[in-house]
Chains A and B, each alone.
Chain A
Amino acid sequence: EPEVTQTPSHQVTQMGQEVILRCVPISNHLYFYWYRQILGQKVEFLVSFYNNEISEKSEIFDDQFSVERPDGSNFTLKIRSTKLEDSAMYFCASSRAYQPQHFGDGTRLSIL
């Protein structure tokens, strides 16, 4: 069964540095998403992406964040000038239109 894959599985970064989290969505999916989950808290929507542009973003997704689909397979989340509170699990998901989303197994981001 096709899967969403995310790399790296764990990223440790110094506060103030930039990080790029990578995702390879399922190949025939056209809708892509990023979520985050702070330890012990609920899954929070960050952004959705379709047709090479952001279709919706939450209040969490401020100027510190950006997304990109640099080629036909990768979907990336960039976090600039990381803060301690950015430490969380970041999940990528993809879907077809009006279908449930399939999640990758996440990148654990630790900001020191």
Chain B
Amino acid sequence: RKEVEQDPGPFNVPEGATVAFNCTYSNSASQSFFWYRQDCRKEPKLLMSVYSSGNEDGRFTAQLNRASQYISLLIRDSKLSDSATYLCVVSGDNDMRFGAGTRLTVKP
């Protein structure tokens, strides 16, 4: 089983749509959880941390279910600039493990 597994995508959605990404992780001892975004041939950039109580940052909502080892990201009112690959990232003491990413394309 992969350490961090994401929806394969790609997701192609119109502007204004709501889109949800899911992620599962295998290591129950994982401590921290993040969503990063990566534009083509660029470095990963932190989008948001994910907390057990769920958290929201503008149009983005992240949720964590430790019992199910499941993380989600919801993007509301999607913009053209949201087009990117979204990486689910799970962290232990000294490393971060990345999912393969889900490609999102928002179209006019």
Chain B, interface residues (CB within 8 Å), range:
20 to 34
How many residue pairs at the A-B interface have CB separations less than 8 Å? 49
Q: Contact: A100 with B34, CB < 8 Å? A: yes
A105 to B43 CA separation, bound complex (whole angstroms): 5
Q: Contact: A45 with B32, CB < 8 Å? A: no
Task: Specify the main secondary structure of chain A where it touches its partner.
Answer: strand
Chain A residue nearest to B38 in the complex (CB):
A43
Q: CB of A106 within 8 A of chain B?
A: yes
Contacts A42-B101, A100-B49 given; indicate if A56 touches B93 (C-beta within 8 A).
yes
**Residue in B31, B93, B95 whose CB lies within 8 Å of A58:** B95
Contacts of B100 in A (CB 8 A): 41-42
Within 8 A of A (CB), among B38-53: 38, 41-46, 49
Q: Which of A89, A93, A100 lies at the interface centre, i.e. has the most chain B CB atoms within 10 A of its CB?
A: A100
Q: Contact: B98 with A44, CB < 8 Å? A: yes
Contacts A43-B87, A100-B49 given; indicate if A105 touches B95 (C-beta within 8 A).
no
The 10 closest A-B pairs by CB, nearest first: A56-B94, A103-B43, A43-B98, A42-B100, A55-B94, A48-B94, A100-B46, A105-B43, A45-B95, A56-B95
Chain A residue nearest to B41 in the complex (CB):
A89
Contacts of B34 in A (CB 8 A): 100
Q: CB of B107 within 8 A of chain A?
A: no
